[in-house]
Structure 1
Amino acid sequence: LIRSAEDGCVEEAKSTLDFMLRSDFIPDRTVFTVLLKSCIRRRRFELGREVHSLVIESGIEFDAILFNSLISLYAKSGDWRKADEIFGSMGEMKDLVSWSAMVSCYSLNGLNSRAISLFIEMVISGENPNEYCFSGALRACWNREFAATGLVIFGFLTKTGHFHSDVSVGCALIETFAKGFADLDSAKKVFDEMPDKNSVTWTLIITRFAQLGCPEEAIELFLDMVIAGFQPDQYTFSSCLSACAELGSAAVGRQLHSWAIKNGSISDVCVGCSLVDMYVKSCLNGSVAESRKVFDAMLEHNVMSWTAIITGCAQNGGLPDEALRLYCRMMTEGTVKPNHFTFSAVLKACGDLFNPRLGEAIYGQSVKLGFATVNCVGNSLISMYTRNDRMDEARRAFEFLVHKNLVSYNALIDGYSKSTDSHEAFDLLNRVETSEFGIDAFTFASLLSGAASIGAVGKGEQLHGRLLKSGFESDLCVSNALISMYTRCGDLRSGFKIFDGIENRNIVSWTSIITGCAKHGFAETALELFHRMTETGIRPNDVTFVSILSACSHAGLVEEGWKYFRSMSEDHGMAPKVEHYACMVDILSRSGHLDRAMRFIDTMPYPPDALIWRTLLGACLVHGNVELGRLAARSILEKNPDDPAAHVLLSNLLASKGQWGEAAAIRKEMRSRNVVKEAGSSWIEVDATVHKFYAGDSKHPEAAAIYGELDRVVGEAKGMGYVPVTDGVVLQQDVEEEEEKERYVFQHSEKIALGYGLIRSRGGKGKKVLRIFKNLRVCGDCHNFIKFASMACGREIVVRDSNRFHHFKDGRCSCNDYW
């Protein structure tokens, strides 16, 4: 029986024990103890409980060794109450092993206060703790609540000479400093002082460095481990791959991948999950192809591997459709059920697809599986609704969430802040300020992003003041959000003030200011900043290059655009994405090189999508190329017959060339197919309140005064030489009278917003800059009119349309009529 138990054949040993008892042979305590320890080692806890019952039935007298084995059995099976009962029944038989086992039992089961109290009681009773008892007590201190107690125990074990006694003590101390204090320096000092290290110790220190934001140091420690002659196992590889994911280092990750294949760790499901995550996060071109290869090659999948690939597609790969297909496959196969992280990723995919109905169906599945009240699921549901501008449903989801956290508040604040009515966002800000959570940097960043999206510089300035009072002025995330807010609200000067005040700029800081310069039409400044950035050693990312290419496009710098496009792959090892190709098409076609743009599209490694064709179609409208415009529109409509932009752009192109019949036919077809173009709207912030207008808007309480002011300004502008541009006007009733067309263009939303800004800022010249924001591209007539209006009113007027900023002053625009 003992031989079977020691060989791990616990079923065979148990059968032998049953036979002995049926044959009236009573085993001694040693037999029972050996069998119990074998059950513990093999984690056969149910079998161990059966052995305990047989011990009681046998009627033999218990000794301390048998009691201690039973305490260990119940401690490791999670039944601390039974272990406590056995420990309490020992009376005077308690020895050091009993005390140590019970201290470990409490700490293993999260009863940290009991573990520390029992440790103190043991010392008071006269027992001298050994290395195992110290390890169990330190385990109870692996949290912020009892971390300080861990320092006391550290002092005690140092005085009693147990610091160097066993590897387990060193590991427990490393965990105390890493988990209790997030103090990696002290954890590393303990590690360096340990006389004996093994693979477990090395893996522990590597894991904690990777988890606590020091991925480079984690990789360096891995190299030291290998040089020291220790072999990494599956846990080491998982931690190192996580570090590579944080660093975005696919090169090191691939080497680890090869090593894992060679030593057989690749078959471990945790290593597979870490590889999937690493390839998703570190792939330069955002492709999930390598992650998918790893995922498909895994022999066994668990919820972590499914969640890793689904999250990769939803968050990093920008493939929400594929994320949903994988989720459906996971559910169809039925071998693995999703967890709360899975639902969180899938709900994000639904938000990206602007499909809240599907999201609600998936949320229903999370309700059935009991995850509806989990924070991350509820927070993702809130974000999905806010992405789809369904703020009422988002608010209900927020209120339904029982255990709200700061992420919950931030998700809802982010949604409210991006709507023109931002009062709710500020109400929530006040609410969270007085809550147990307080405000974090992301709260301010969300509100600043919202202010930037609607151009509410007044709100942005209020937030700037509040965050200064809250002590967030030195936070890099907040500073970057301030740069973005000011530049996107038309105040580039203030954006530069923030940028110049940042000591340790990162790629986001540089990209934010470069993007601001590009949007404002200051291409030379943007390019100069790019060179300064690369000289400091900061590597540009995809967004940086989109901004640089956009700057070249706005300024007509064709050759410069080519230079930077090629440098992506030649100098920076980055594969251009579709958006970079779209920028190049824009550079070529906007400058009139439509044939070159078409040849460029033919040589693309990707099939051109709607963005590429829409860019070309927009340039055809500017340059009047009907033939190429028809081709571009046809390419869009073949894939999506209901694309409103393609219909409108082609209609305007035909109208501008005098082909009124075809233009009207396209509009008629749109109505018959119920294709509705996005309604043009403009807004202006006055006294920290955003006022929004649509074309022909008469609902505003000051509408009469607005149109009266517009009539006055139009009259002055005409006296200065302004002539309305009506070539592109196609009215539903096919009205051809020029007077009717003029009346139509006078009612464009940006003109109404300008009129309102003027009546609310009367008092002559030299007044505050008027900043107007439009959701679509500003039309030729409005652009021309605002030039004359800036001269007639003696005002500087800044207009942000969907493409760029226009700074109007003294009858001129910063774009030099190239937009």
Structure 2
Amino acid sequence: MPSLSLYLPAPAKLPPPPPFRPQKATNFDPLSNRLISHSNVGHLRKAITTLDLMSCIRSRNFDLGKLVHDRLACSQLEPDPVLLNSLISLYSKSGDWKKANSIFENMGSERNLVSWSAMVSCFANNDMGYEAISTFLDMLEHGFYPNDYCFASVIRRWCYISVYKVGITIIMAAIAFVGLALGHYVGCCLVDMYSKCTADGLMNDARKVFDRMPNNNVASWTAIMNGYVQRGRGDEEAIKHFVEMMSGLVPSNHFTFSSILKTCANLLDLCTAVKSGLASINCMGNSLISMYSKSGQVEDARKSFDVLYEKNLISYNTVVDADAKHSDAEEAFGLFPEIQDTGFGASGFTFSSLLSGAASICAVGKGEQIHARIIKSGFESYQSICNALVSMYPWCGNIDAAFLVFNEMDDWNVISWTSMITEVFDKMLEARIKPNEITYIAVLSACSHAGLVDEGWKHFKAMEKKHCITPGMEH
């Protein structure tokens, strides 16, 4: 761990910057470039190990990542900075800052900008404010001058440390010291940092950063709106910014809509959105339908659909899916002819939602009609459609039709197999055939791979309670 001092040097005492930025300060290399560089010089094993580690980090499977590290330690493979940086990231994100710091300290002269940045982020993530600040200053003193990616990485975590006020002062001084232009990437992170730092936020400072940024884009507009929304007292200000953004013809994205929808929710009802003219905007209305659907408010989702000035296939698909998922399948079926009349034509998503609705009310006749329409529309070979059919038919009591669809599929995935395994298992129980330990391994594995947590728990509990099978490690 770097030595700490409560007397942090002022930015003016930092060493003067070199006349040009050293090679050490280049941008982070993408993972693919790292792997290619390893392979090009014959280090295929290092490339594979790096890929293993990065896969474990991205999937947050830290225990497996530590096993990869153990394998590396037992091999004769000499770690290089890329591998060591990946290990720092692994232990940092798993919460083991001591191990991360040990690897960092042992790197010695092999430390580069990525190493330093990872260690600063590690301390910040663990609310070790003074250590994070001290390491950041050490990085500058060692001649590693952060680029915009490094600053953004540090800034994202700075608002979470207990000594954030000192950290903000140093960050802003360091940006000026290095001479980094305030671009969108760093600017958005600064706006986000200021808005999160205290209970009241530092929105005046966030606004100053926003105003200094050249040619604000969708990311910067969304960042400043998020800032007002997060404070809970700036909802009208957020809507004002949204209208200003739309007036300036700045294209919006789903993050923008997510932010403005939170504003409408804070202002209590849909009327605010309608009065502001927001709900009639096509993409905004679709977002409202989706939001209400996910929260189970089907009636409000339908109201949002009805006030849309111009509906598109996404609008129809979203409300059909909402009806199908919340036991209002007849409403979903009623919209299908309307979709056909508009000339949009149903999509694979439309058919999947309708099949889900048919399954929810065990309407095998409706399901067969939809299946016929699927064949007529040329969607019968789509994997997602086939999976929906394989799931729908057993729910409606026609497992033979499910087998027929399954056997005619060109390609099966885990969802296809899981649907068949679980349905066959249910039929097995209906036939009063007693399952054994091996049966449950297959069923539980299928549920696990398909992400069917509730279904898996149901079978796991029934294993001992109903069938007197004691769960083992393999289960």
**Which has the bigger relative contact order, CA under 8 A and spacing at least 6?**
2
Give me the TM-score of the superposition, normalised by structure 1. Answer: 0.30
